[in-house]
Amino acid sequence: MRNFHSLSGTVILSLFSALAHSQNAPIKDTAAFQSAPSQVVHLSATASAQVTQDWLVMTLASQKEGSDAAVVQKQIQSSLAAALALVQSSAQKGMLDVSTGQMSVYPRYGRDGQSKGWAGVAELVLQGRDITRITEAGGRVQGMTVSQVQWQVSPELKRQVENRIQGQAVEQFQSRASALASSFGFANYSLREVRVSSQDSGHDIQPRMASVQMDSVAASPVPVQAGQSRVVVNVAGSIQLK
């Protein structure tokens, strides 16, 4: 896995200027003004790393049509039950998690607005980090199609990367804070507040051909290829110049 680190920071300078008070101003207002913070600088720093996605989500779907809603519902339920029975033996927490997705039966209408019968869909979701296990299980399912393949970064990998680059973001924040204090002619600074946040971007969603049905028990594994995501840690806050 090849990582690329990028550090960037944005600075928003906010210096509170003194406002002239009249001699008739109440003493309590003057005291409040004198205690108001000044020489406050807001800044942020960011660290990021590019990682290979390691969590696969594969959605299989069974779609049926007919003139009777009850019959359509029975067909998609039967297809889903058969698929569940087939893949449950391969399930293992974190490696291959099996769950059902949406299930619905709805009316179909023609261009003339007249009823054309009923359609139904039932989904089976296979996800985890064991890519071979997932793609082979998906390839064995009969009567369902692969409707969507989505790649993500697993929570475990995301936490690992965040822990690794968080120190870089904090270091960058401190470095910028020191440089800003010096640039404005101050010897030091104190930290007023700080916020640390993280995110990842680049989820890869690959729609599949819903018309291709896998009818053979000996079907080949579904071909997939992981993409890249960028994990970002942002440190933002304000400092008091001294």
Q: Could you read off the pLDDT of 118-171 as tens digits, one per residue?
A: 999 999 999 999 999 999 999 999 889 999 999 999 999 999 999 999 999 999
Are residue 34 and residue 61 in the same domain, yes or no? Answer: no
The pLDDT value given to residue 213: 42
Mean pLDDT, residues 42-68 taken together: 95
Sheet holding 97-109, edge to edge: 97-109, 115-128, 55-66, 145-152, 204-207
The pLDDT value given to residue 161: 95
The pLDDT value given to residue 202: 67
- Do 14 and 41 contact (CB within 8 A), yes or no? yes
> Using the 8-state DSSP alphabet, how is residue 187 labeled?
S
The tally of domains found in the chain comes to 2
Are residue 134 and residue 194 in the same domain, yes or no? Answer: no
Copy the structure tokens of residue 198.
Answer: 């993280």
The pLDDT value given to residue 205: 54
Determine the structural domain holding residue 23 and report its residue range.
5-52+156-199+233-241
d(CA 144, CA 214): 7
Of 47, 49, 55, 48, nearest to 153 (Cα)?
55
User: Which of 5-9, 43-47, 122-126 shows the lowest mean pLDDT across its residues?
Assistant: 5-9
Mean pLDDT, residues 199-215 taken together: 53
Domain of 71: which CATH number? Answer: 3.30.70.2970
30-38 LR contacts (CB < 8 Å, sep 24+):
37/192, 37/240
Are residue 71 and residue 23 in the same domain, yes or no? Answer: no
Are residue 65 and residue 47 in the same domain, yes or no? Answer: no
Q: What is the pLDDT of residues 210-232, one digit of tens each?
A: 334 444 434 678 888 899 999 99
pLDDT category, 101, cuts 50, 70, 90?
Answer: very high
- Do 109 and 115 contact (CB within 8 A), yes or no? yes
